[in-house]
Chains A and B, each alone.
Chain A
């Protein structure tokens, strides 16, 4: 049982390049999330998904796209990377005991992205 995994762990991009971050979970969770963490800012929600085939915008969605084609995977894409997207990205998943609420979120180890 690996929990939540993220690939890659580190990445350096040049401005304008694109990339996809992969998140996978083996806990059969319905909900999945992408956060970014910047110094002094806490965790900010980028996009989230409440089930296979569904996605929604979070607090800071601009410049990112997501897809949830399979229940266990949640992909985060950067189409044209900018230096402002330099950050640590965390994926999380959760099981919900009732509709409309979130239970414990399990976080992946993070991806450290630098955009030059």
Chain B
């Protein structure tokens, strides 16, 4: 079951902040965040694991609310290079899942 991302699209001016949300109706083991620029492959940003352990990108942060089965990606002081489509990939609780289910993406455009 595909996680739901919001918003679908957002336009920012350089220096502004944004939050992208990812919600699941199923219990999550981990949430992965990727960014994809037009015509390129998705690139890993961050993993958030159940239990609160966080890894990833130094200038972008994220949270994982286990009670709400929701993750949020925080982009602060946005730069032009942040433009792209952000995907969350969810890994569901239970042994042997091995796979991610991706949301439909949030298109972020940063303008000067």
- CB-CB under 8 A from A100, the residues of chain B are 94-98
Complex: A85 Cα to B73 Cα, angstroms: 32
By size class, the interface of chain B is 20 to 34
* Cβ B101 vs Cβ A59 within 8 A: yes
Q: Is the CB of A42 within 8 A of B97?
A: no
> Number of A residues contacting the other chain (C-beta, 8 Å)?
28
Mark out the residues of chain A between 90 and 106 whose CB falls within 8 Å of any chain B CB in the assembled complex.
90, 96, 99-106
Q: Which residues of A contact B (CB under 8 A)?
A: 31, 33, 35, 40-45, 48, 50, 56, 58-59, 90, 96, 99-110
Question: Which residues from chain B sit less than 8 Å from chain A, CB to CB?
Answer: 2, 29-30, 32, 34, 40-44, 47, 87, 89, 91, 94-105
Identify 23 residue pairs between A and B in the complex whose beta-carbon atoms are under 8 Å apart, listed by A's number: A33-B99, A42-B102, A44-B102, A45-B99, A56-B98, A58-B99, A90-B41, A90-B42, A99-B95, A99-B96, A100-B97, A100-B98, A101-B29, A101-B91, A102-B30, A102-B32, A102-B99, A103-B47, A104-B47, A105-B42, A105-B89, A107-B42, A109-B40
